[in-house]
Chain A
């Protein structure tokens, strides 16, 4: 399977604990995005990387959230001191940059469903 993969698929944790999620993008894609989706809503943008550089962060990304992409390949998203409001599906997507004649379609991974008790 050469699509976007995410690990774990499900995570249950207690309030106050730290969690880390991993995303492996499609191998030739140099852009990687993180989104959060709650039930019945569309995904909301959190942050994105081009290669190893984190170029944009949403105001949704509080200081308890940190994301890395150390070698420009896989990425991790860490949430410290989790709160019940962090319960959501965390989606990762990857793409190539938009160029003339080429779409910049983002392809999504299966997501990590986080439940904070």
Chain B
């Protein structure tokens, strides 16, 4: 059974710092991995989607990497801003049973 874990559960960093959010999964038979942003009480906004054949994807200040063999993905945020404060969720799409499994998220707070 696939389990997706995100550590830490919460993170506070000063504005301007670069930071890394971690996502690990137990079953490497994934089709893709997606990172989402969620503001309090709101829906999910897709940030980056990495296909299993890819190693990384970049969008602006965001870079996501995928290492299937070690069961890890990271989301790198460069030059953090207060507007980056939100919960970041990763989700693994499974080949086997065509399901999407979410982690519990990392609550990020950027200190002005």
A and B bind: no
Interface residues of chain A, those whose CB is within 8 Å of chain B, are none
